Chains A and B, each alone.
Chain A
Amino acid sequence: MNSHKGPIRKIEEALKAVHRRGEDFLVSASWNEKVMRAVRSIAVQPAVSRFDPAGYGRLVWRFSAATCLIALALAAYAVTSDLSTASSVTTLFFEDPIGVDLVHSLGIG
């Protein structure tokens, strides 16, 4: 492609110039009416039927950053505090403080 760089650029420039050229467009006389009809039909719909899944999606994403931050903060707290889930589970498995032989009941002993 490198050997064609010059010609490609030239075509690209020509296409850019084509894009910049204005073109006439005739909007139909009834277009305004059509849009207003659509708008009025939305306006008279009850609010319940105006379910907007995209809007809910946006709402979820809006809170995603805060959720991640909270998760990170909790993880940091768990790492720096004395709470050790792994050691608790190990104690539960091998010291059997509640009197149930978990290791055998799970069939791994």
Chain B
Amino acid sequence: MAAGITEAPSGQLFRTTRAETITICRSDHSERRDSRVDHQSVEPDDARIIQRVLSGEVNAFELLLEKYRGMVFGIVLKHVPHESAEDVAQDVFVRAFQSLGGYASRSSFRHWLATLAVRSCYDFWRNRTKNREVPLSSLTEEGQKWLDEALAPQSREAFLEHTARQEGKGVLRYALDRLSAEDRMVVSLIHLDELTVREAAKMLGWGVVKTKVRAHRARREMHRIILEMMERGSKQP
């Protein structure tokens, strides 16, 4: 599960995977549907480690850190800029440590931690949009060109090759930067990660109706931003 980890001499290399958040959510749902799966997904090691940490053996927390950092980075890297990923991932584990006493072992620790990770990402964007100390990214000429090329008729292979280019990341960042923290998280989880409304609501700690309404508005806003980018491109000589 530790999203494509490769050892590197100076640290550890993670590859973000789209499936990370989805797998966490879906596995949680299947746990409830099938008691056999539930039995298999119970991780007695986690329970033992948590017990040790709660009884004062703080160093045992490193075992959880080691075991789940790949999963946490897999989620965090999908939602926050890479330069902030380490800080947000650290925040996730610190929060986990602080709330460990309140963790109810009804849900799996993995899912509980994934929810904390998504909420930490949401808090990151809430703080950033509140402070606005970081300037919004701008749409570069290369990004504009990438947009024009994405609209041109092309084969599936050419389309996939096109989306692999770095300029696409810049365009996506530009569009997401223009959304509020709430809209951004909803667009990322529901429209980009393709979670269901119920799954996203659970991750964010919102009601299903609120999430549904927000998802609808956020998508409309995203369409407006895309249209704005397209029109800007057509105005350029």
Chain A residues at the B interface, C-beta cutoff of 8 Å: 1, 4, 7-8, 10-12, 14-29, 31-32, 34-36, 38-40, 42-43, 50, 52
Are A26 and B15 interface neighbours, CB within 8 A?
no
Within 8 A of A (CB), among B199-225: 222-224
Question: What is the interface of chain A mostly: helix, strand, loop, or mixed?
Answer: helix
Nearest Cβ distance between residue B235 and chain A, in whole angstroms?
A: 14
Instruction: Tell me the complex Cα distance, A1–B222, Å.
Output: 12
Enumerate 19 A-B pairs (CB-CB under 8 Å) in ascending A order.
Answer: A4-B230, A7-B230, A11-B230, A16-B192, A17-B163, A19-B172, A19-B188, A19-B193, A22-B15, A25-B77, A27-B13, A27-B73, A28-B10, A29-B12, A31-B90, A36-B65, A38-B90, A42-B94, A42-B98
A16: chain B residues within 8 A (beta carbon): 191-192
Are A36 and B61 interface neighbours, CB within 8 A?
yes
Instruction: Tell me the complex Cα distance, A25–B14, Å.
Output: 5
Range, interface on chain B:
35 or more
A43 (CB) vs chain B CBs: closest residue: B58
B223 in complex: contacting residue of A12, A14, A34, CB < 8 Å: A12
Nearest Cβ distance between residue A92 and chain B, in whole angstroms?
A: 45
User: Which one of B27-35, B78-86, B109-117, B178-186 contacts A?
Assistant: B78-86
Instruction: Tell me the complex Cα distance, A71–B159, Å.
Output: 60
A27 in complex: contacting residue of B12, B98, B230, CB < 8 Å: B12
A26: chain B residues within 8 A (beta carbon): 8, 10-14
Are B168 and A35 interface neighbours, CB within 8 A?
no
